[in-house]
Amino acid sequence: MEFLKSIFDIHSTLFNFPGYPMSYLEFIGTLAGLISVYYATKANILTWSTGILNELAFFALFFQVQLYSDMLLQAFFFLISIQGWINWKTNQYSGKYQIAFLTKKKLILVFTRIILSSILVGIIMTNIHHYFPVIFNKPAAYPFTDAFVAILSIAATLLMIYKKVECWYLWIFVDLISIVMYFFKNLFVVSGEYIIFLLLAIYGLLNWIKQYKHENRFGIREIHANS
């Protein structure tokens, strides 16, 4: 029981890297996250199962550093990863979800929802320690920035479920902001991880565009439902 408790305590050090105390949560979440994003760049279904492990670890991590939007985001990711896993598994042979681009109308709608949702969540997170003082006994750190990252991540994940190329543009934006935010929260390994995520997102974007061109070159039919 004590060992299990230590795994979920951010102050429990697995090893020093170098001179930086690497917690169990940060190590497990970082490794699982890297593997998950790598699989995503390949449009591989294993991205969802490895992502679930990342989400469980980071849920506990972000709660302990008062990044509450990011914490709640992991709960969303957990549910959406199950949905994504089922969608990709069910349709991997049917061709229902081929890599595609959003229409201009849908793209404008997505960005409008991102901005409005980020403002709303930012306001809620600014006051969440007043709403639920027993659970959140400290004010949220960077509530609007954290909320913006969370909403961008949600939008990117939903677009990824339906294999829309634009998901990678959103992930690139998420990674750029997260690198700075986590650095200032002294989560240096997580910040470094997002540098790798940024490179993987650029690779994922280029790879998905390449696959999109390949699928269309050979006349593979795109289904635009749910786009």
Global pTM reads: 0.75
What angle, rounded to 10 degrees, do the helices at 68-91 and 104-126 form?
A: 150
Sequence-ordered alpha helix ranges (H) in 19-103: 24-41, 46-64, 68-91
Phi, psi angle pair for 21, to nearest 5°: -70, 105
pLDDT band at 6 (very low <50, low <70, confident <90, very high): low
pLDDT band at 223 (very low <50, low <70, confident <90, very high): very low
pLDDT tens-digit readout, 161-210: 888 999 999 999 999 999 999 898 888 877 888 999 999 999 999 999 99
**144 pLDDT above the threshold of 50:** yes
Q: CA-to-CA distance for 64 and 28, rounded, in angstroms? A: 16
pLDDT tens-digit readout, 29-62: 889 988 998 998 888 889 999 999 999 998 988 8
pLDDT value of position 17: 67
**What angle (nearest 5°) sits at the alpha carbon of residue 63, between those of residues 71 and 188?**
90
Integer distance in angstroms from the first to the last C-alpha of the chain? 47
**9 pLDDT above the threshold of 80:** no
Q: CA-to-CA distance for 159 and 2, rounded, in angstroms? A: 41
Q: Token pair of 25, please?
A: 């949560």
